[in-house]
């Protein structure tokens, strides 16, 4: 897969120019995977991964602002992209990733439940709208 380029985040000097803020500076690395750099008051900043329109965010490592990247706890921009993809796809083997996969199954079950409820509601409306005399079991005199 092609690597994404972003001049704001690629180099240490470019990241130093970013204003420290609470929200990360985001770049999209895959259709539903985002890599974020959180510029802190004191370097180094942190790399974060966000998935599903950034509804969940997780810190993955420190940025290589002060030290060289070691590939595990300190990552450069390119290593951060690869790590973000692994974490979001559940390939890193953490318990958190397995939980996100299980959550997908729960959501699919919830959609199926709501669909069957909607189908039942549409059939029950037909009986509610029918004339009351047709539903009477007693004979009227």
How much is the pLDDT for 110?
75
Tens digit of each residue's pLDDT (9 = 90 or more) over 62-80: 999 899 999 899 999 999 9
| 140/137 Cα distance (integer angstroms) | 9
Query: CA–CA separation, 27 vs 42, rounded Å?
Result: 22
Ramachandran class of 21: left when φ > 0, alpha when ψ lies in -120 to 50, beta otherwise: beta
**Looking at residue 89, what is its pLDDT?**
81
- Residue 83 · residue 77 · CB < 8 Å: no
* Phi, psi angle pair for 23, to nearest 5°: -85, 145
Q: How confident is the model at residue 1 (pLDDT cuts 50, 70, 90)?
A: low
2 vs 66, which has greater pLDDT? 66
pLDDT band at 28 (very low <50, low <70, confident <90, very high): very high
Instruction: Judge whether 47 and 40 are in contact, CB under 8 Å.
Output: no
Check: CB of residue 39 under 8 Å from CB of residue 20: yes
Percent of the chain with pLDDT over 70: 73
Whole-angstrom distance, CA of residue 66 vs CA of residue 44: 6
Overall average pLDDT of the 88-107 stretch = 64
Mean pLDDT value across the chain: 79
Q: If pLDDT is split at 50, 70 and 90, which confidence band does 108 have?
A: confident
Torsion of CA 36, 37, 39, 40, to 10 degrees: 80
Q: What is the pLDDT of residue 2?
A: 72
What is the C-alpha to C-alpha distance for residues 89 and 99, in angstroms, rounded to an integer? 12
Is 42:16 a contact under the CB 8 Å cutoff? no
């Amino acid at each position: 897969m092609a690597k994404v380029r972003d001049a704001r985040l690629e180099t240490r000097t470019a990241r130093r120019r970013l204003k420290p803020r609470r929200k990360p500076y985001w770049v999209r690395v895959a259709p539903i995977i985002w890599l974020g750099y959180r510029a802190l008051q004191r370097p180094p900043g942190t790399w974060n991964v966000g998935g599903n329109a950034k509804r969940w965010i997780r810190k993955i490592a420190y940025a290589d602002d002060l030290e060289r990247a070691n590939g595990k706890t300190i990552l450069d921009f390119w290593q951060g992209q690869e790590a973000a993809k692994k974490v979001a796809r559940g390939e890193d083997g953490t318990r958190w990733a397995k939980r996100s996969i299980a959550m997908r199954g729960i959501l699919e079950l919830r959609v199926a439940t709501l669909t069957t409820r909607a189908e039942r509601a549409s059939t029950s409306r037909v009986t509610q709208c029918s004339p009351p005399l047709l539903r009477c079991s007693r004979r009227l005199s």
